[in-house]
Amino acid sequence: MIVLGLVLLIAGWLLNIGILTTIGWIVLAIGVILLILGALNRPIFAGRRYWY
């Protein structure tokens, strides 16, 4: 998600599209938060679920 956020951010800046830049910032922020939570060994979504 971090790479996708960076790509959207750079594309938004180069093409001068504001909504693309905004989406890039949001995706980048979510990617960094998930990276930090994953590094702390925190469960990101509640529990284990088994689907049969």
| Cβ atoms 25, 5 nearer than 8 A | yes
Specify the pLDDT at position 31.
Answer: 93
Q: How far is CA 10 from CA 13, 24, 33, 42, 46, in A?
A: 5, 8, 20, 30, 33
Specify the pLDDT at position 39.
Answer: 82
Specify the pLDDT at position 51.
Answer: 55
Task: Report the predicted TM-score, pTM, of the whole model to 2 decimal places.
Answer: 0.74
Domain edges within the chain:
2-39
**Spatial distance between the Cα atoms of 11 and 8, rounded to a whole number of angstroms:** 5
What are the tens digits of pLDDT across the range 1-52? Answer: 899 999 999 999 999 999 999 999 999 999 999 888 878 876 666 666 655 5
Specify the pLDDT at position 41.
Answer: 77
